[in-house]
Amino acid sequence: MKVALDTNVLVYAEGLNGADKRKTILDIVDRIAPDNRVISVHVLGEMFRVLTRKAKLPASDARAIVLKWRNTAQVVETNEASMLQAIDLVVDHRLPIWDSAILVAAAVRGCNLLLTEDMQHGFVWSGVTVVDPFRTPKHPLLADALRR
């Protein structure tokens, strides 16, 4: 099962918001095969920004972290067609544009799940279910992905 990871998930995995969230996310991510992990180019850019602005890491350190994540997942680029789909999502479902772009990237790569705290838990679009990885009990699709 393919699983897309949002920026907040990667930030938590780096320990920027506490050890408990880091442990939870790393347990989930480590149980998903690297070829089933999906990250959009936009997420990598957002992560770099969070690491350099909020965490105040030197740009070279932030770059190394971004490259590490890039090398542990399939990366999806944003293009004209996907941005137009994202705009349609904004119009149809009132999602923020960058969240929409991440959701479209997940759908383009054939993901079943998008792990994030930033969107409505349980929202489904184009075969992708938005799941908050910290919710208990775990969403059935996430529980299924972790059993494999």
- Say what the pTM is: 0.95
When divided into structural domains, the chain yields a total of 1
pLDDT at 18: 86
Work out the mean pLDDT of the chain and round it to a whole number. 96
Mean predicted confidence (pLDDT) in 30-38:
95
Backbone dihedral angles phi then psi of residue 59, each to the nearest 5 degrees: -55, -35
9: pLDDT strictly greater than 80? yes
Token digits of residue 80: 């004209």
Query: Cα torsion for 23, 59, 100, 130, to the nearest 10°?
Result: -10
pLDDT at 6: 98
CATH of the domain at 129: 3.40.50.1010
| Cα distance between residue 100 and residue 102, in whole Å | 5
**Residue 4 burial (C-beta neighbours within 10 Å; 0-12, 13-18, 19+):** buried
Taking only the tens place, the pLDDT of each residue in 48-91 is 999 999 999 999 999 999 999 999 999 999 999 999 999 999 99
pLDDT at 123: 97
Q: Give the range of the structural domain holding residue 99, as residue numbers without chain letter.
A: 3-147
